[in-house]
Amino acid sequence: MKSPYIIAEIASAHEGKPELAVNLFYHALRARADAVKFQIFNRDSLLTINNPYYNEFGEIELSAKSWKNILKKVSSEKIDIIVEPYDMESFDIAEKTGFVDGYKIPTASIDDISLLSKVQRTNKSVYIGVGGAEWSEIENVVSYFNNSNLTLLCGFQNFPTKLKDSKLYQIKELIESFGCSVGYADHVDAEDHEMANKLPTMAVVAGASVIEKHITDDRSRGGRDYYSALNPDEFKKFVQVMRYIPEIVGKENDWSLSKAEIKYRRFTKRHAVAASNIISGETLDIKDIVFKRTNEEGLSAQEIIGYIGREFIKEKNIDDPIKKEDFIEK
C-alpha cells in the first residue's frame, strides 16, 4: 500500500481575498500535502440573480486577474496545483496560465459535456466528484476518460457531513466496477477531532488512494467552508497520520513475521520441555513432555509428535527445553 495522495482543499476559505488564498496554499505546503485545490467560478455563470446565495458568492468571487496572479505566485513550489472549475470561463482562466497539474470536475458538472471534453483534452490528472451522483451518471462520465489518469472521489459537503452519510462501502464498489483510482473527499465535522483523522484512515484502508481535506487559517472565526476544515497545525498532524497508514497496514500477501512478532512469539509460545529427568539413551515417551514458555525457540506440540520413540543423546533435567539436536538423527 502506498501513502494516500493528499489534496488540501481551500474551497471558499479564502473569503474572496487573494492574499488569504496564497497564505492557505503555503500552510498546505508546510504541512506536506501532495496538492492544493482551488475552486474557480464565475458567479453569473453559476447562479441566477434570484438565487439566495447570489450576493454571498459575489463576496467570495475572485477576478480572472487575481486567479492568474495567485497561480503564478505559487507555481514555483514543489506541490501539485489542482483547479475545480465550475464553468467554461473558469476552466479557460486556469488552463491558460499553464500552471495547473490537474482538474476536478464537481458532481454538479458531471454531465457538462463541454467542460468534460475540454478537461479530457488536457491529458492531465482528472478527479471527478461522485458524491450524490447517480450510478448511470458515473458510468457516463467514466467513459470520457482514460482510467490511468482518472480518480473518482466519493464524499460530499453537507456542512458538515454526518457520519451516517459517509458510505465508505462505495470505495470498493467503484474500484471493482471501474478499475480506476478512487478517493474520498472528507467533510466530517472538524470539531470531532477523533473522527477527523479516523474517517479518512478508514477510507484509505477501504481502498481510497486519494484523500481530499479542507484547510482553513482559523476555524474559530467561522467564515466560509470552515465546518470540516482543519487549522494549519491540525492539517499538518493529519498529513503525518496519513503517512503512517501504509506502515500500519503492511504489505499485502506477505505473512513473513517481523522482528517484533518473532520476539512476541518467543515470549508467549509454549514449547516442549522435560516433565522429569531424562538420561541419555532413553527414548522419548509422551509422558516425558509438558509444554511451557521457554523464551527461546523449541519444538512445538505439532513438531514433537515426530520425535516420539526417538533416542536421546543428551541428558535432560526437569523443565529443560527439548530440541531437535537432543536426538539421534534418522
Tens of pLDDT, residue by residue over 27-75, are 999 999 999 999 999 999 999 999 999 999 999 999 999 999 999 999 9
Residues 25 and 72 in one domain: yes
Torsion over CA of 48, 49, 55 and 61, rounded to 10 degrees? 50
Any domain includes 94: yes
Confidence of residue 328 (pLDDT cuts 50, 70, 90): confident
Per the CB < 8 A criterion, the answer to whether 94 and 40 are in contact is yes
From 249, 280, 298, the end of a domain falls on 249
Q: Which domain holds residue 232?
A: 5-249
Q: What is the CATH number of the domain that holds 178?
A: 3.20.20.70
Task: Tell whether 122 and 205 lie within a shared domain.
Answer: yes
Q: Are 182 and 207 in contact (CB under 8 A)?
A: yes
CA distance 141 to 116: 8
Q: Which residues contact 148 (CB under 8 A, 6 or more apart)?
A: none
Alpha-carbon distance 3 to 246, whole Å? 6
Distance CA 88, CA 92 (A): 6
Longest dimension (CA), the chain: 101
Residue that is last in its domain, among 249, 274, 299: 249
Report if residue 182 sits inside a domain.
Answer: yes
Same domain, 218 and 305: no
The position carrying cell 481575498 is 17
Q: Verify that 71 and 205 share a domain, yes or no.
A: yes
- β-sheet bridge partners, residue 254: none
Confidence of residue 105 (pLDDT cuts 50, 70, 90): very high
> Among 249, 274, 301, where does a domain finish?
249
* Same domain membership, residue 229 and residue 99: yes
CATH code for the domain of 282 = 3.90.1210.10
Q: Are residues 211 and 315 in the same domain?
A: no
Instruction: Give the model's pLDDT for residue 211.
Output: 98
Same domain for 295 and 168: no
- Written as nine digits, the cell of 283 is 527414548
Backbone dihedral angles phi then psi of residue 216, each to the nearest 5 degrees? -140, 165
Flag whether pLDDT at 272 surpasses 90: yes
Is residue 330 pLDDT above 80, yes or no?
no
At residue 250, the pLDDT reads 86
* Amino acid identity, position 28: A
Residues 269, 231, single domain; the answer is no
| Interval 138-196: pLDDT, tens | 999 999 887 779 999 999 999 899 999 999 999 999 999 999 999 999 999 999 999 99
Taking the C-alpha atoms of residue 295 and residue 271, their distance in angstroms, rounded to an integer, is: 9
**What does the H/E/C string look like for the chain?**
CCCCEEEEECCCCCCCCHHHHHHHHHHHHHCCCCEEEEEECCHHHHCCCCCCCHHHHHHHCCCHHHHHHHHHHHCCCCCEEEEEECCHHHHHHHHHHCCCCEEEECHHHCCCHHHHHHHHHCCCEEEEECCCCCHHHHHHHHCCCCHHHEEEEECCCCCCCCHHHCCCHHHHHHHHHHCCEEEEEECCCCCCHHHHHHHHHHHHHCCCCEEEEEECCCHHHCCCCCCCCECHHHHHHHHHHHHHHHHHHCCCCCCCCCHHHHHHHHHHCEEEEECCCECCCCECCHHHEEEEECCCCCCCHHHHHHHCCCEECCCECCCCECCHHHECCC
pLDDT per residue as tens digits for the range 117-138: 999 999 999 999 999 999 999 9
pLDDT recorded at residue 253: 78
Same domain, 266 and 124: no
- 239 and 266 together in one domain: no
| Residue 254 domain flag | no
131, part of any domain: yes
- Alpha-carbon span 311 to 38, nearest angstrom: 77
Number of domains in the chain: 2
The position carrying cell 470531532 is 192
Name, in order, each residue with C-beta under 8 angstroms of 138's C-beta and a sequence gap of 6 or more: 110, 130, 152, 174, 178
- Indicate if 22 and 139 belong to the same structural domain: yes
19 and 94 part of one domain: yes
Question: Residue 166 has which C-alpha cell?
Answer: 459517509
